Amino acid sequence: MEKLSEIAAYLKGKGARFADAREHLFHEREIMTEDNRVEQITEQDISGTGIKVLYNNGWGYACTSAGDMDSLRGAADKALALAKYADRSAEVPVELAAEPRHTAKFATKIKEDPFAVKAGDAVGALLEAAGVMLKGKDIIKAVSSLVLRNMRKKYANTEGSAIETDIFTILPEIEATARANDEVKTRHYLPAPMNAGYEYFRGIDFKANAARIAEQAREHCFARSCESGPATLVLDPEHLSLTMHESVGHPTELDRVLGYEESCAGRSFATMDKLNNFRYGSELVNLVADNTLEGGLASIGYDDEGVECRKWHIVKAGILTGYGVNRELAHKMKMSRANGTTRATKYSDVPITRMPNLYLAPGKKPLSKEQLIADTENGIYIEGRGSFSIDQMRLNMQFGGDAFWEIKNGKLTGMLKNVVYNAISYQFWRGCDAIADESEFCRAGFITCGKGDPMQAAQMTHGASPARFRNIMVRRAK
C-alpha cells in the first residue's frame, strides 16, 4: 500500500488534480466436465497496477504488470503525459464529486478458501451431478462447471484513501441435453452465483436438481408449440434476472444515458428528463440497486474510484428515480457523491460505470409462487434464461427462456416449446400486476456482463420473487 500511496503523492507533486493507483490481482479457476470426463481445468493469475491521472481537464491511464517502484513510476509518468495530452483537446471541465477519505479493508466473508481446496474435490461433485443427469432417459450430454474467482485489490489516491479488498466469487452450473421426438433440448440448473467461500459450493444440492433438469429436458422434447398472441406471463427469478439486467440495469447506467458509452446495445431511452416523473413500471415495481448486499457479486466494499458502495432505488413504486453514477457525472444529477458503481475487471482495464447488484423487491402481501399461478387463469410460466435481444436504446426487447409451462385455470398443464416474447421495456414493467412475497425471493447473477471498448466482463447479482406480467406479445419461435 505504501508504494501506491507514494505514487499518488508523486503525481500530486507533478501537478495532477487527482490520481489513483490500483494494484489488482485477478485469479480465476474454471472447471468443466462433460459426461463422465473432465473437459477442462483452466487457471489464470493476472496481476499488475493501473494508474489513473486527471491533469486539469484531461484523463490519462497507464498500467504495468511489474510491481517495483521504477516500473510504477514509469507507468505514472506515462499516465500523466497522456492526461496532459488529453487536456489540450478537452472541451468539458471535469467536476469530480467529493468522496470522504477512506482507510479501510473489505473482504468477502468466507469459511473455506476455494483456492485452497484441490480442483479434484469440485471435479468429484460435478461428475456426480453429471452421472445423475446421464441416468435420465434420452439424455445425450451432461455438462457441469464451476468458476472460482479471487479478486484482490489495493487502492490509494491523492485524497489520502487507502483501501484493501479481497473478494471471492463462486459460480456453479449444470446442464442436461435430451434428444427425443426429433428434438434436442437443453435444461440448466444455475444455483445463485455468490461472493462466498467454498462452503457455499459444498451446500448445493446438485443431485436432486440434476435428476429434475434431466427429466425436464426430455419433457421439453415432447412439448407442444405455444400459440402466438398477447398472453399473461409468470416469470421466475432466474428469468427475471436477465430481463431486469437488459431493460433496467444497462439503460440506467448514467454514462450510457448521456452518450459517453455506446458499445453493446449502448444508449438508453431512460434519459434524465424522465427522472422522478417517468412511469417505468406499475406501482408494484421497486427495482433496488444494492452494492452492500451481503454475498452480492458487485458487493466489493469500495469501488475503483475509492467510493464506498451503497444502496439506492433505480425504480421506486414504478417511477424512475436513480442511475448508476460515477464521480465525474454526479454533478449532472446534482448528487454530492457518486454511488459506488465504477469498476475495472483487470488491472489493465480503465474503471467504468458498471451495473450494481440489482433486484426486484418482493411483493408486500403474502403470496407464494403456487398461489400466484393458481390466481392466473390462462398464461405461460417461464423459468430460466434463453436467447435475447434488445435495441440500441434498450426499448424494444425479445426474450426466450429455459423452460415453459402452460397455465390453464390456475394449474400448470404441461410444457410448451418455442416460446419468445416481445415487449417495449417500460410497457413490460408496467404490465406487472403481482409479485410473490419475500419467502420466494431467489438470487441469480452474471459474471460476464460485457461493456466497454476494449470489452470488460463484470459481475453482479440480481434477484426477484416470481412475478406476473399482463398483455405481453408471445410469438411462436418456429
Comparing CB distances to Zn ion, the nearer of 16 and 449 is: 449
- Position among 127, 407, 449, 464 found at the interface with Zn ion (CB under 5 A): 449
Comparing CB distances to Zn ion, the nearer of 76 and 449 is: 449
Comparing CB distances to Zn ion, the nearer of 163 and 352 is: 352
| Number of residue whose CB is nearest Zn ion | 449
Using the rule CB under 5 A, give the single segment among 190-198, 301-309, 375-383, 448-456 that binds Zn ion: 448-456
Comparing CB distances to Zn ion, the nearer of 330 and 449 is: 449
Number of residues that bind Zn ion (CB under 5 A): 1
Using the rule CB under 5 A, give the single segment among 153-161, 333-341, 405-413, 441-449 that binds Zn ion: 441-449
Give min distance, CB of 250 to Zn ion, in A: 6
Using the rule CB under 5 A, give the single segment among 35-43, 172-180, 442-450, 460-468 that binds Zn ion: 442-450
Q: Which three cell numbers stand for residue 338?
A: 457518486
Comparing CB distances to Zn ion, the nearer of 360 and 449 is: 449
Comparing CB distances to Zn ion, the nearer of 444 and 449 is: 449
- Give the per-residue SS3 of the chain: CHHHHHHHHHHHHCCCCEEEEEEEEEEEEEEEEECCEEEEEEEEEEEEEEEEEEECCEEEEEEECCCCHHHHHHHHHHHHHHHHHHHHCCCCCCCCCCCCCCEEEEECCCCCCHHHCCHHHHHHHHHHHHHHHHCCCCEEEEEEEEEEEEEEEEEEECCCCEEEEEEEEEEEEEEEEEEECCEEEEEEECCCCECCCHHHHHCCCHHHHHHHHHHHHHHHHCCEECCCEEEEEEECHHHHHHHHHHHHHHHHEHHHHCCCCCCCCCCCCCCHHHCCCCECCCCCCCEEEECCCCCCCCCCCECCCCCECCEEEEEECCEECCCECCCCCHHHHCCCCCCCCEECCCCCCCCEECCCCEEECCCCCCCCHHHHHHCCCEEEEEECCCCEEECCCCCEEEECCCEEEEEECCEEEEEEECEEEEEEHHHHHHCEEEECCHHHCEEEEEEEEEECCCCEEEEEEEEECCEEEEEEEEEECC
Using the rule CB under 5 A, give the single segment among 126-134, 380-388, 425-433, 445-453 that binds Zn ion: 445-453
Give min distance, CB of 225 to Zn ion, in A: 30
Give min distance, CB of 10 to Zn ion, in A: 36
Cα separation, 78 vs 72, whole angstroms: 10
Comparing CB distances to Zn ion, the nearer of 221 and 264 is: 264
Give min distance, CB of 457 to Zn ion, in A: 9
420 phi, psi to nearest 5 deg: -135, 155
Give min distance, CB of 447 to Zn ion, in A: 11
Using the rule CB under 5 A, give the single segment among 75-83, 197-205, 365-373, 447-455 that binds Zn ion: 447-455
Comparing CB distances to Zn ion, the nearer of 62 and 449 is: 449
Q: To the nearest 10°, report the CA torsion of 94, 99, 102, 105.
A: -90
Comparing CB distances to Zn ion, the nearer of 373 and 449 is: 449
164-203 mask for Zn ion (x: CB under 5 A)? ----------------------------------------
Give min distance, CB of 460 to Zn ion, in A: 8
Interacting residues with Zn ion between 30 and 69 (CB under 5 A): none
Give min distance, CB of 210 to Zn ion, in A: 28
Give min distance, CB of 279 to Zn ion, in A: 24
Interacting residues with Zn ion between 241 and 280 (CB under 5 A): none
Give min distance, CB of 461 to Zn ion, in A: 13
Comparing CB distances to Zn ion, the nearer of 119 and 447 is: 447
Return residues touching Zn ion (CB under 5 A): 449
